[in-house]
Chain A
Amino acid sequence: NAGVMQNPRHLVRRRGQEARLRCSPMKGHSHVYWYRQLPEEGLKFMVYLQKENIIDESGMPKERFSAEFPKEGPSILRIQQVVRGDSAAYFCASSPRSGGEGTEAFFGQGTRLTVV
């Protein structure tokens, strides 16, 4: 059973370009979370999705950022018109359920975005 797969591992974008980060959850997991990690900081929650639904996007910047988790295929975190401040590691996590025992999240290796 493969773990959470994120790609690309490293992504370099020029200011103003778009960044697309992909996350395939573990098999059987229908809950996906995206987190951002800035240098010297812990992980900050961005968005929580289930298949075809955004459940909680309270941690996501209101502009330029969007996320989806379609019925088929990976979850996508999209950042439009990137700026230098978007440079960070973006982690995806998945879990089989969202409440109660057994809801620990399994993390991918992350995508390290560098905006030049």
Chain B
Amino acid sequence: AQSVTQPDIHITVSEGASLELRCNYSYGATPYLFWYVQSPGQGLQLLLKYFSGDTLVQGIKGFEAEFKRSQSSFNLRKPSVHWSDAAEYFCAVGPPVQAGTALIFGKGTTLSVSS
């Protein structure tokens, strides 16, 4: 079955510290991979995506993610967290080519930033 697992429900990091949010997926083929961020009461904003090529992808707001095929993982990282990064983060997978298949989301990781 296709699924996305975000093992950490809630993470707290200090402002200025580094961050890594984990994402593992189960999919029949190499999927397209996404990270979205959701601030309270808001919609989802795309942080970055991976389709092919370089397995280290850069996104907005200083985020990056690395695709590791052998581990079926797509972890999100940021070297120095800012208080404004506090939000909920969702990893999602999508079909490589097949038309009409929607994204599958993980349950999300809530990030809190302490001063």
> CA separation between A6 and B36, bound complex, in Å?
18
Residues of A at the B interface (CB closer than 8 Å) are 4, 6, 33, 35, 40-45, 48, 55-56, 59, 91, 93, 97-101, 103-110, 112
Chain A residues near B22 (CB, 8 Å)?
none
Q: Shortest distance in angstroms between B75's beta carbon and chain A's nearest beta carbon?
A: 17
Chain A residues near B49 (CB, 8 Å)?
104
Size bracket of the B interface: 20 to 34
Contact of B43 among A97, A100, A107 (CB under 8 A): A107
Nearest B residue to A10, CB-CB: B41
B44: Cβ under 8 A from any A Cβ: yes
Further 15 A-B residue pairs, CB within 8 A, beyond A45-B104, A98-B100, A110-B43: A40-B107, A42-B90, A42-B106, A43-B92, A43-B103, A48-B100, A56-B101, A93-B44, A99-B98, A99-B100, A104-B32, A104-B34, A105-B103, A109-B43, A110-B42
Which positions 32-63 of chain B face chain A at CB distance < 8 Å? 32, 34, 36, 41-46, 49, 51-52
Contact (A55, B94) CB under 8 Å given A43-B105, A107-B43: no
Query: Is A45 a contact partner of B103 (Cβ separation < 8 A)?
Result: yes
Query: Is A55 a contact partner of B51 (Cβ separation < 8 A)?
Result: no
Query: Is B99 a contact partner of A99 (Cβ separation < 8 A)?
Result: yes
A-B pairs, 9 with minimum CB distance: A42-B105, A45-B102, A99-B99, A107-B44, A109-B43, A98-B99, A42-B107, A43-B105, A107-B43
Query: Is B95 a contact partner of A99 (Cβ separation < 8 A)?
Result: yes
Chain B residues near A6 (CB, 8 Å)?
43
Which DSSP category, helix, strand, loop or mixed, fits chain B's interface?
A: loop
> CA separation between A53 and B104, bound complex, in Å?
22
Contact (A33, B107) CB under 8 Å given A43-B90, A104-B34, A110-B43: no
9 A–B contact pairs at CB < 8 A? A4-B43, A42-B106, A42-B108, A43-B105, A55-B100, A59-B102, A107-B36, A107-B45, A110-B42
Query: Is B43 a contact partner of A91 (Cβ separation < 8 A)?
Result: yes
Q: Shortest distance in angstroms between B25's beta carbon and chain A's nearest beta carbon?
A: 13
Q: Shortest distance in angstroms between B19's beta carbon and chain A's nearest beta carbon?
A: 19
